[in-house]
Structure 1
Amino acid sequence: MLANSMAMFLNFAVLLISRDLLVDASFVGPSCSTFQSRHSSAVLATPREEAEALIERARKMREEVAGLEGRPIEQVEAEAKAKRENRQQREEAAAASRQAKKEAVSERKTVNGSFLSVPETFDDQVYQAKQAVERACKEGVTRQVIRFALVPPGDVLNEDRQWPGGAQQMYREAAGPLTRELLRQVRVSPTNASGDTAATSWTNKPNVTSQDIWDFDGSAWVAATYEGTYNTIQAMVLPNTDNKYTLDIQGMSESLGMGQLLILVNPFWRDVESWGFNLLAPKAKALAQEIIFDSGFEETYVLLQKSIQGEDCIALKAFPYDWQLFAYAETDYWPYDQYIVHLGSTAEEPKSTDFVPLLQQREEFRLSKNMRQMQRMLKKDE
Structure 2
Amino acid sequence: MMQVFVYILVVTAVVLSGRSSTAFSPPTRRSSSTLRHPFPSSASSSSSSSSSSSSLLRMSTGANEEVRKLLAKARALREEAALMSGKSIEEMERERWAEKELGRERLAATEAARREREADVASRRTSSSYGMNEARLVPAPDDAPSQARQAASAVERAYADGLVRQTVRLALLGEGEGVHDEPNEWPGGARQMYREAGRPMTESLLREIRAYAADASSSSSSSSSSSSSSPSSDVSNRAPPEVTAEDILDFDGSAVITARAAAGSHGDVKAIVFPNTDTKYLGDIETISREVGPDRLLLLVNPFWKDVESWGFNILAPNGKRRAKEVIFDEGYDVTYAALRFSARGEDCLALKSYPYDWQLYAYREDPRWFNRKVPIWLGSSKDEPSYSQFSELLNGRPEFKMNKNMRQMQRMMGNDDQ
What range is the shorter-chain TM-score in?
0.5 to 0.7
Q: 2:276 aligns with which of 240, 260, 274?
A: 240
Q: 2:165 aligns with which of 143, 159, 162?
A: 143
Distance in 1, Cα, partners of 2:136 & 2:174: 26
Q: 1:224 aligns with which of 253, 259, 263?
A: 259
Q: CA deviation at 1:333?
A: 4.8
Q: CA deviation at 1:276?
A: 1.0
Asked whether 1:211 is paired with 2:246, we answer yes
Distance in 2, Cα, partners of 1:336 & 1:235: 36
Alignment length (residue pairs) = 274
Asked whether 1:156 is paired with 2:192, we answer no
Distance in 2, Cα, partners of 1:109 & 1:121: 30
Asked whether 1:326 is paired with 2:362, we answer yes
Q: CA deviation at 1:358?
A: 1.1
Q: 2:287 aligns with which of 251, 259, 262?
A: 251
Q: 1:171 aligns with which of 181, 194, 213?
A: 194
1:18-65 deviations in whole A, cap 9, x for unaligned? Answer: xxxxxxxxxxxxxxxxxxxxxxxxxxxxxxxxxxxxxxxxxxxxxxxx
Q: Give 1:167's aligned amino acid.
A: A
Q: Give 1:151's aligned amino acid.
A: L
1:321-374 deviations in whole A, cap 9, x for unaligned? Answer: 000000011233563532110000000000111112211111110112222222
Asked whether 1:337 is paired with 2:360, we answer no
Gap regions ≥5 residues in structure 2? 1-128, 222-232
Q: Give 1:120's aligned amino acid.
A: D
Over the aligned positions, Cα root-mean-square deviation in angstroms equals 2.3
Q: Give 2:384's aligned amino acid.
A: E
Contact 1:114/1:324 (8 A) holds in 2: no
1:272-298 deviations in whole A, cap 9, x for unaligned? Answer: 111111111110111001110011111
Please give the residue correspondences for 1:1-150 in structure 2 after superposition, counting only pairs within 5 Å.
Answer: 111-150=133-172
Q: 1:182 aligns with which of 205, 222, 247?
A: 205
Distance in 2, Cα, partners of 1:347 & 1:321: 8
The two structures have a TM-score, normalised by structure 2, of 0.62
Q: CA deviation at 1:182?
A: 1.0
Match for residue 396 of structure 2? Answer: 360
Q: Give 1:325's aligned amino acid.
A: L
Q: Secondary structure at the match of 1:379?
A: coil
Q: CA deviation at 1:376?
A: 1.8
Q: Secondary structure at the match of 2:315?
A: coil
Cα gap change, 1:110/1:171 in structure 2, threshold over 3 Å: closer, same or farther?
Answer: farther
**Percent identity of equivalent pairs:** 46
Q: CA deviation at 1:262?
A: 0.3
Q: Secondary structure at the match of 1:154?
A: coil
Cα gap change, 1:150/1:373 in structure 2, threshold over 3 Å: closer, same or farther?
Answer: same
Q: Give 2:405's aligned amino acid.
A: K
Cα gap change, 1:209/1:343 in structure 2, threshold over 3 Å: closer, same or farther?
Answer: same
Q: 1:308 aligns with which of 337, 340, 344?
A: 344
Contact 1:152/1:177 (8 A) holds in 2: no
**Displacement over 6 Å in runs of 4+:** none
Contact 2:237/2:263 (8 A) holds in 1: no
Q: CA deviation at 1:207?
A: 1.4
Contact 2:142/2:178 (8 A) holds in 1: yes
Cα gap change, 1:144/1:372 in structure 2, threshold over 3 Å: closer, same or farther?
Answer: same
Contact 2:272/2:300 (8 A) holds in 1: yes
Distance in 2, Cα, partners of 1:171 & 1:216: 10
Distance in 2, Cα, partners of 1:328 & 1:234: 34
Match for residue 119 of structure 2? Answer: none
Match for residue 19 of structure 2? Answer: none
Gap regions ≥5 residues in structure 1? 1-106
Q: CA deviation at 1:227?
A: 5.0
Q: Secondary structure at the match of 1:343?
A: strand
Q: Please, which moves more after superposition, 253-262 or 155-164?
A: 155-164
Q: CA deviation at 1:255?
A: 1.6
The two structures have a TM-score, normalised by structure 1, of 0.68
Distance in 2, Cα, partners of 1:319 & 1:198: 28
Q: 1:370 aligns with which of 406, 411, 415?
A: 406
Distance in 2, Cα, partners of 1:197 & 1:298: 29
Contact 2:237/2:262 (8 A) holds in 1: no
Contact 1:189/1:197 (8 A) holds in 2: no
Q: CA deviation at 1:151?
A: 1.1
Contact 1:189/1:198 (8 A) holds in 2: no
Distance in 2, Cα, partners of 1:117 & 1:174: 22
1:219-255 deviations in whole A, cap 9, x for unaligned? Answer: 0000011356232211000000001111110111112
Cα gap change, 1:109/1:174 in structure 2, threshold over 3 Å: closer, same or farther?
Answer: farther
Q: Which has the larger radius of gyration?
A: 2
Q: Give 1:188's aligned amino acid.
A: A
Distance in 2, Cα, partners of 1:324 & 1:153: 25
Q: Secondary structure at the match of 1:213?
A: strand
Contact 1:144/1:264 (8 A) holds in 2: yes
Q: Secondary structure at the match of 2:337?
A: strand
Distance in 2, Cα, partners of 1:294 & 1:219: 23
Contact 1:130/1:185 (8 A) holds in 2: yes
Match for residue 260 of structure 1? Answer: 296
